[in-house]
């Protein structure tokens, strides 16, 4: 967000900036979603919904697990949330107590650490890298000292785009269930993959909490809508927390989101564009000196080891923005200990933007 603010300031002053810093799809939500929202505005009172969400939407989400993953899911376990951000807050509040210890990968999404810390939960950072394809797996957890009460895992991951295989998901779920460790699975980038589709934790661990979002694959970022799949023992706690903290997710967004599951052709066309963007960067970034990249199996990120270029990623990104007009994210957001030697490129924009970014970076690095 700091990089975005500075990029916007430069643009307001007349600079031409290529944005590779923010992880959100470009363009609007699918056309059918927009039409559904417009119809709702014209004829719906838009009052509160039930705390757990509109029953029809919860049923559509459960049907999504059946259609995509072959998993039979009780709609009663689905909770519609104000984005995945609210989902993580509800999950952590319901599943953990002050002083509990929860493992997260580094690099990883910084909000996990920040929310856990704000709730008085100890965040146990587990470094990951090329040896585990940048994923937190059962083998890495075996080496953690002391007890663990929870594990947060993301596949595809932000910032690396790496994914766990179906076998690894099953192994991780079994490891957690066998030790009484609560698994929280971040699946918000499901649907955006460039090979084998991502495997869900649903069906693998009956005690796991799954958090997903309409912001990434479904391209509804500003609608602030997500969902959780909650195990029965946490459902009432999540419902009460939702009632007190949020009342319910935005009603207009819930109504509109019911249509998004009929938009897979439009959404998959966006993923095809992300693949083109990814290929442009994979071809061009190494020729600009960014040649140590994490595997981008999914999501829309490339995570680069830039130790050969700098020991100060925030300053490097500041200079790159000021001198080359390319905005990207320093790695310290994702890994406070090692992130001064890494950075993240987001390729959620257009192929033209990716090509221009590569052109500018090659010229800047000469």
pLDDT in tens, 235-272: 999 999 999 999 999 999 999 999 999 999 999 999 99
Decide if 62 contacts 75 (C-beta within 8 A): yes
Q: What is the pLDDT of residue 213?
A: 98
Of 191, 211, 192, 2, nearest to 87 by C-alpha is: 211
DSSP string, 122-175: EEEEEE--GGGTT---HHHHHT--S--SEEEEESS-TTT-----HHHHHHHHHH
Q: What is the pLDDT of residue 2?
A: 82
Number of H helices, E strands in the chain: 12, 12
**Domain 34-261, architecture per CATH:** 3-Layer(aba) Sandwich (3.40)
Q: What is the pLDDT of residue 35?
A: 97
Q: What is the pLDDT of residue 27?
A: 85
**Domain 2-29+264-364, architecture per CATH:** Alpha-Beta Complex (3.90)
Which residue numbers in the chain have pLDDT < 50?
none
Please state whether the predicted TM-score (pTM) of the whole model is above 0.85.
yes
Fold match between domain 2-29+264-364 and domain 34-261: no
Q: What is the pLDDT of residue 3?
A: 84
Q: What is the pLDDT of residue 17?
A: 93
* Helix (H/G/I), strand (E/B), else coil: 183: strand
Indicate the domain borders of the chain: 2-29+264-364, 34-261
Q: What element of type H or E holds 226?
A: strand 226-229
**Is the backbone of residue 156 left (phi > 0), alpha (psi -120 to 50) or beta?**
beta
Q: What element of type H or E holds 254?
A: helix 251-257
Distance, in Å, from the CA atom of 120 to the CA atom of 97, rounded to the nearest integer, reads 8
């Amino acid at each position: 967000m700091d990089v975005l603010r500075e990029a916007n300031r430069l643009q307001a002053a007349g600079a031409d900036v290529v944005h590779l810093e923010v992880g959100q799809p470009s363009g609007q939500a699918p056309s059918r979603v927009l039409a559904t929202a417009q119809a709702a505005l014209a004829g719906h009172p838009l009052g509160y919904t039930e705390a757990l969400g509109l029953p029809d939407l919860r049923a559509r989400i459960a049907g999504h697990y059946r259609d995509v993953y072959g998993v039979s899911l009780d709609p009663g376990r689905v909770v519609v949330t104000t984005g995945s951000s609210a989902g993580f807050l509800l999950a952590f509040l319901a599943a953990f107590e002050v002083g509990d210890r929860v493992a997260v990968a580094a690099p990883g999404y910084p909000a996990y650490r920040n929310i856990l810390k704000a709730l008085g939960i100890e965040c146990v950072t587990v470094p990951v890298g090329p040896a585990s394809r940048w994923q937190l797996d059962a083998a890495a957890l075996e080496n953690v000292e002391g007890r663990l009460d929870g594990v947060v895992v993301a596949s595809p991951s932000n910032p690396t785009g790496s994914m766990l295989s179906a076998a690894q998901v099953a192994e991780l779920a079994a490891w957690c269930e066998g030790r009484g460790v609560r698994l929280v699975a971040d699946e918000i980038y499901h649907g955006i993959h460039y090979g084998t589709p991502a495997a869900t934790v649903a069906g693998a661990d009956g005690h796991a909490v799954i958090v997903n979002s309409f912001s990434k694959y479904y391209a509804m970022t500003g609608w602030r809508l997500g969902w959780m799949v909650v195990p029965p023992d946490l459902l009432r706690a999540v419902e009460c927390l939702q009632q007190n903290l949020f009342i319910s997710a935005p009603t207009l967004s819930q109504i509109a989101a019911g249509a998004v599951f009929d938009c897979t052709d439009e959404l998959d066309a966006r993923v095809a564009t992300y693949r083109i963007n990814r290929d442009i960067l994979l071809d061009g970034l190494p020729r600009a000196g960014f040649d140590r990249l994490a595997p981008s199996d999914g999501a829309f990120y490339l995570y680069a080891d830039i130790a050969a270029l700098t020991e100060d990623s925030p300053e490097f990104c500041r200079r790159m923005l000021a001198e080359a007009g390319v905005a990207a994210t320093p790695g310290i957001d994702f890994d406070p200990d090692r992130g001064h030697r890494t950075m993240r490129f987001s390729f959620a924009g257009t192929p033209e933007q990716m090509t221009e970014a590569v052109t500018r970076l090659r010229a800047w690095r000469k």
